[in-house]
Chains A and B, each alone.
Chain A
Amino acid sequence: MIQKIPFRILIGKLGLDGHDRGALVIADYLRNLGYEVIFSGVHKTAFQLTNIALQEDIQAIGISILSGSHVHHLRSLKEELKKANSEDILLFVGGIIPQADHKILNGMGISGIFPPGTSLESISSWLEENLG
């Protein structure tokens, strides 16, 4: 029997934001769809999260954030991924992200933005589309 190799996804938390319920809901949902989901735990720096992504050889990082500092943290994460020559890793983000910031994040190359009210299905179909 040849098994399909599952995609590996890192669900991460950056900075001082210690709320992990949303991250765990997403992690559980993706696991039930057949993904191998690694949860980073809370309070990681962009550098640490990048190192985790490399060690775990993941294909996508989902950031859950509600602290309001999403632009700052995602910019640092982008920079760290670039330094590690790993810009091919797909990024998506969920949490309290005001409409006005969507453009900024889009400009950084982040298209998967999932604000409050997002259905779980829209996250998984976005992933399916973008993971190829």
Chain B
Amino acid sequence: MELEPKDKGSFWQIIFALKEDNTEPLSKRLGRALSLAENSVFLPESFSNELNIHYNRPHIFVLVGPSGVGKSVLVDRLLPYFLNDFKSIAILATDPTSTVSGGALLGDRVRISNENIDSRVFYRSVASRGSNKSYSDSIPDMIQVLSIFEVEVVLVESMGVAQQDVSSSLIADTLVNVLSPSAGDEIQIYKSGILEFGDIFFINKVDIHNSDSVFNLLQMKVNKGEGNQKTDFPKVIRGSATERLGIKDLYFSMLSHLNNVNPLGFED
């Protein structure tokens, strides 16, 4: 499997070859294919639009929120629900690359329970590698690779974000904005930035902090339209990932948003 793409054309040929090569385990082939997408320094920008005609793009859920808010644990708690409804799911979990050493400690995987390590779950830790967004610049290409490998759903766990970083909204079909009820007073909710984005707002850690004021403010702030234009989204949900509160509600809201965006469903 020593493969080095030289240009765009041979890049995709190699990805297709990896997909078809049944002599190697699937996770190895997909792991290698994602590395090729991640390491392709020869491409100035994403070429993700090229193959969409032939392949169904998977639905992309993005979890965004500040560092330590509970995104990785939420992924773990959501997995059993996804496995119940979908054939395969990939998680791309981003953590920052050190600007000092160029290295990274990729620790999101630690939150995944052993019972969720399943052959239908493909979990990949992705370092930001100098990206100034809340995910690595190679994520769009990695998603394209996942489409070729016919993964049904992709969950992107973004890096912990600061309030002005709204880049996650660019790649998400469904954006889940995870908040902590302890993150400041109501003025914070009225500020611009990432809180202006989100199909679903999940207020986590309600077992530790009183979430009433954040919940009520967000409810008030999200614009669901009027009259006939009224929609179910954005939706505000509260719960606790560690205590497994509100997870079912969150999952079914994500599913319902998926069906809103992609009403025809996936082809079998």
Interface residues in chain A, defined as those with a beta carbon under 8 Å from any beta carbon in chain B: 2-6, 27-28, 30-41, 43-44, 48, 51-52, 54-57, 84-86
The distance in angstroms between the C-alpha atoms of A44 and B110, with both chains bound, is 11
The B interface is mostly helix, strand or loop, or mixed, namely mixed
B28: Cβ under 8 A from any A Cβ? yes
**Is there an interface contact between B98 and A31, defined as CB atoms closer than 8 Å?**
yes
**Is there an interface contact between B104 and A48, defined as CB atoms closer than 8 Å?**
no
Question: What are the residues of chain A within 8 A of B19 when measuring CB–CB?
Answer: none
The distance in angstroms between the C-alpha atoms of A13 and B111, with both chains bound, is 14
**Is there an interface contact between B30 and A43, defined as CB atoms closer than 8 Å?**
no
**Is there an interface contact between A31 and B104, defined as CB atoms closer than 8 Å?**
yes
**Is there an interface contact between B27 and A55, defined as CB atoms closer than 8 Å?**
yes
Give the residue of B41, B112, B127, B130 whose beta carbon is less than 8 angstroms from that of A41.
B112
B68: Cβ under 8 A from any A Cβ? no
**Is there an interface contact between B39 and A5, defined as CB atoms closer than 8 Å?**
yes
Chain B minimum-CB-distance residue to A5: B39
The distance in angstroms between the C-alpha atoms of A40 and B114, with both chains bound, is 10
The distance in angstroms between the C-alpha atoms of A47 and B42, with both chains bound, is 35
The distance in angstroms between the C-alpha atoms of A37 and B104, with both chains bound, is 6
Question: Closest 3 CB pairs between A and B?
Answer: A57-B31, A41-B110, A31-B103
**Is there an interface contact between B122 and A55, defined as CB atoms closer than 8 Å?**
yes
Chain A minimum-CB-distance residue to B105: A31
Taking A32-B103, A36-B127 as known contacts, 6 extra A-B pairs with beta carbons closer than 8 A to each other, sorted by chain A number, are A36-B106, A37-B104, A37-B106, A48-B114, A56-B106, A85-B28
